[in-house]
Structure 1
Amino acid sequence: MLLDVPSELADGVGAVEKVYDNRHYLRRHPLPPGCVHTLTKDTPMPRAPFQILVVPFRHVGDQLEFAVLRREDMNVWQAVAGGGEDNETPEQAALREATEELGLDHPTPLYPLQTTASVPARFFADRIHWPAGTYVVPEYSFAIDLTGIEAAISHEHTALEWRDYDTAHEVLRFDSNRTALSELHERLLAIDLPHPVKSDRP
């Protein structure tokens, strides 16, 4: 499954060329189609050729709620998303991204999901550093339990909202996000979460 993009950006329709100057942002996020980036000596080590997705959830009494975040640069709702840094594994990247983007200050259970997707490599500035013939990169999905935990948004998002399954599914922009959410919802109803990822954090 290929990760879809907003129709107004797909194939460059309605998009304008833009140079992204924030190197830290670039190493963790794909460039929207139609955007360009100029590399300099100050550009950090390239991101790893994979993407991660983390769906936050919580129990509120007998109800299940899921967090959606509105992305600042594209104004779309999504789960936590990003890429690996240096030699991180997908699990390590997911833990770090969730910690950074949700403002977490202590270890929180993270669960691997079966949902995977493929993202076109052309959306990433760091593609030039990847092996020749890399046309798509895998996206690995996880879930994080924020029951009783206060979450806060980073500068990469303008809002975080807790929603029930139906309304969360409705607002999520990307197919892979909706698929991961659906899997997580089924697992929670069946009380069938996998073993959590082991954290290296103290």
Structure 2
Amino acid sequence: MVRGSGYYDYNVLPNLSAAVEQHDVAVAGRVTGWSEGRSVNTGDMVTRYATVTVQVDLAARIADPSQRDVAYVAVSLGSDPVGPDGAAVGSVPTLGELERAVPTGTRIIAIGNAVPEDEEEQYGSPFEVADYEAGRPAGAPLASFTVQGSLVETTNGCTVSLRAQDEDVSYWTIHAAELAGNEATATTSPGSFQNLVDELESSATG
């Protein structure tokens, strides 16, 4: 799985339901495409993003009504240091690698927060955003994955994260299996992804 470059320090949440409660957007559906996304320059680092388009089947939490049908989600490819000439140095996964790792039709769970349109104003100099609307129609809302909340289904029904360590995702699959009353406790267990979808549906209705 493509996890990008760089290291992430994040608050590990114990289960999917807890993540839904703490974030703006929580949906499940199928990947319908990948596009080059925005990039964020903080002065010493440039973080590059891809945008994944999700045809939504289940919306537990949304920031905009349009996300009941289609959600556009930013996927961090990693951060490159900025060299003396102001250009990014290093390499990050390509769009082609993402498309091969998570092809069109793959089931996905996306949990994250809405990306504000006024990012530059909120964070101030030297924070700069390039190509803010890349990968989506003009005016369409953008969400950004939380580290644990970017989960995809493998061909045999197992669970893989785009960002988080396997151990941190296993907390979620164990909890979801307990709720489902089955043995698909590991990320490598067939059926573990469906358990997470079922938990997401429960969080939407209750």
Scaled by the length of structure 1, the TM-score of the pair is 0.28
* Structure with higher strand content: 2
Scaled by the length of structure 2, the TM-score of the pair is 0.28
